[in-house]
Amino acid sequence: MNIDSFLASGDHQRNQYKKLIINKINNHQDQRTNDRTELKDSHLRSYALQLAQEENYTEAIALLNQLIFRHPYNAIDYNNRGLIYFQSGEMQKAFCDYNTALKLNPYLASAYNNRANYYAACGELALAVADYDEAINLNPSHVRAWINRGITLRDLGQYEEAIENFEVALLFGQLEGHIWAERGRTYHLWGDWNCAIADYRRALTQLPPVNNSKDVTGYRLRLQLENWLNDLLSPERPNW
């Protein structure tokens, strides 16, 4: 999910902006809004995604509901709302939104990636791989789809194929910390502990510290990675 930062002027301006959005949503169906004062769709989308990143899912979904009311055939809004439903644990609503997005735009790679995440979370790993395949076919530089497919292949016990996916993902120069962490975990489970430790240590140089609230996914992965590394370095580690 890409988030444009348009709230860069401090908390006071942000709070004023938030109140303006909420007031306009409440009044939208009761009165006509002048085109020059109506908030732009792009601002609503950006703020919805910002709220989602802060785990304020209820307000984020409310904004996306408004966007969908305005533009009922916009696949991206359904896809984004589906992602927020998924993050908030409303899995079936997420799945329905992904399907709607793909009906409206069958070439939306991010919707295939998101639906694949749903399938993976439900244990439908073959269906997940098929959707990751489609996302990558439509957008070969979709880094998250490469990472997610690698994780799913690892869950299927296909370690060599998983490593190949992570190595391709590294070529794009994005999310290296996440990729090294997941590749290290794959080596770990595969039994190559030296490569696992090397990748874990590389990942730790890239992932945010545990007190960084701006990258929730990153610091959660860091905590998990530290546990994996401690497991390998522990003198009490069993001989597998």
- Confidence (pLDDT) at 43: 87
Query: In this structure, what DSSP letter does residue 10 have?
Result: -
- Confidence (pLDDT) at 8: 30
Residue 209: CB atoms within 10 Å:
10
- Each domain of the chain, given as residue ranges in start order, spans 40-106
Q: What is the pLDDT along the chain (240 residues), one digit of tens a residue?
A: 333 322 233 444 445 545 555 554 455 444 444 443 346 888 888 899 889 988 899 999 999 999 999 999 999 999 999 999 999 999 999 999 999 999 999 999 999 999 999 999 999 999 999 999 999 999 999 999 999 999 999 999 999 999 999 999 999 999 999 999 999 999 999 999 999 999 999 999 998 876 655 677 777 888 999 999 998 888 665 554
SS3 38: coil
What is the C-alpha separation between 116 and 133, in angstroms, rounded?
9
- Confidence (pLDDT) at 219: 76
Name, in order, each residue with C-beta under 8 angstroms of 164's C-beta and a sequence gap of 6 or more: 150
What is the C-alpha separation between 214 and 211, in angstroms, rounded?
9
For every residue of 222-238, DSSP letters joined together read HHHHHHHHHHHH-TT--
Residue type, 216: V
Element (H, E) at 80: helix 75-87
What is the CATH number that goes with domain 40-106?
Answer: 1.25.40.10
What is the C-alpha separation between 164 and 17, in angstroms, rounded?
45
- Confidence (pLDDT) at 37: 32
What is the C-alpha separation between 131 and 140, in angstroms, rounded?
13
Q: With contact defined as beta carbons under 8 Å apart, do 104 and 74 qualify? A: yes
- Confidence (pLDDT) at 207: 87
- Confidence (pLDDT) at 218: 79
Half-sphere exposure of 216 (CA within 13 A, CB side): 8
